[in-house]
């Protein structure tokens, strides 16, 4: 009789576990694919704004507390400093920046992501001669309370060796 009671007890416990698992709500779905699509759309739009030298549109993609880490320049933090940095870059004669995003990775939490890629840059040098650069970038995207994605950090640097200094 005791043996039957133990079997009955284990069977009952097993059934309760199965029922509990079956009735529990499913885990939230992984929404990273949707987030990646939204980030790629925002990323495309921001790169088009940069290519067209649209200052207001370019700055609008940055979070209020974002930082811009442009080469050979101090860190620009906040939209006003970022606006000044882009204003200076867009004012360079012959400025053409052609970035290409190659990867977007969204955190499992769904509130942060990064994009990385390459760029090509041309402009007129101080004496009017064309200069060219190519390199890579990383952009950190942060999901806002309204669900939109904004840039939290933006950094790029050259693949080319530094120019030799004066002798």
Write out the two tokens for 110: 């769904």
Q: Taking 80 as the threshold, does the pLDDT of residue 165 lie above it?
A: no
Q: What mean pLDDT value characterizes the chain?
A: 87
Please answer whether residues 142 and 149 qualify as being in contact, where contact means their C-beta atoms are separated by less than 8 angstroms: yes
Instruction: Give the least confident one: 102-111, 113-122, 128-137, 158-167.
Output: 158-167
Structure-model confidence comparison of residues 39 and 162, the more confident one? 39
40-48: average pLDDT: 96
What is the four-CA torsion angle of 60, 64, 66, 67, rounded to 10 degrees?
Answer: 90
User: Percentage of the chain with pLDDT > 90?
Assistant: 74
Strands (E), the chain: 62-69, 76-77, 96-106, 112-124, 130-143, 149-158
Please answer whether residues 114 and 143 qualify as being in contact, where contact means their C-beta atoms are separated by less than 8 angstroms: no
63-69: average pLDDT: 98
Query: Whose CA is closest to 137, among 122, 123, 120?
Result: 120
Q: Taking 80 as the threshold, does the pLDDT of residue 73 lie above it?
A: yes
Q: Taking 70 as the threshold, does the pLDDT of residue 22 lie above it?
A: no
Q: Taking 80 as the threshold, does the pLDDT of residue 88 lie above it?
A: yes
Q: Is the Cα dihedral 51, 147, 68, 113 positive or negative?
A: negative
Give pLDDT, residue 16: 44
Give pLDDT, residue 15: 43
Class of domain 31-158: alpha beta
Measured between alpha carbons, how far is 105 from 51 in angstroms, rounded to an integer? Answer: 23
87-114 burial: b if 16+ Cβ within 10 Å, else e? eebeeeeeeebebebeebebeeeeebbb
The predicted model scores a pTM of 0.79
Give pLDDT, residue 5: 57
12-32: average pLDDT: 52
Measured between alpha carbons, how far is 102 from 117 in angstroms, rounded to an integer? Answer: 5
Give pLDDT, residue 8: 52
């Amino acid at each position: 009789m005791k043996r039957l009671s133990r079997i009955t007890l284990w069977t009952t416990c097993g059934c309760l576990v199965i029922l509990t698992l079956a009735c529990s709500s499913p885990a939230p779905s992984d929404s990273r694919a949707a987030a990646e699509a939204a980030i790629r759309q925002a990323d495309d739009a921001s790169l088009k704004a940069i290519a067209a030298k649209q200052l207001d549109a370019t700055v609008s993609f940055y979070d209020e507390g974002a930082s811009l880490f442009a080469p050979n320049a101090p860190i620009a933090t906040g939209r006003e400093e970022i606006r000044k940095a882009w204003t200076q870059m867009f004012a360079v004669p012959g400025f053409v920046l052609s970035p290409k995003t190659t990867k977007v990775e969204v955190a499992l939490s769904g509130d942060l992501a990064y994009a990385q890629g390459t760029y090509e840059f041309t402009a007129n040098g101080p004496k009017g001669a064309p200069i060219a650069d190519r390199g890579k970038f990383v952009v950190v995207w942060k999901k806002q309370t309204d669900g939109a994605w904004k840039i939290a950090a933006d950094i790029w640097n050259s693949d080319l060796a530094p120019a030799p200094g004066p002798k």
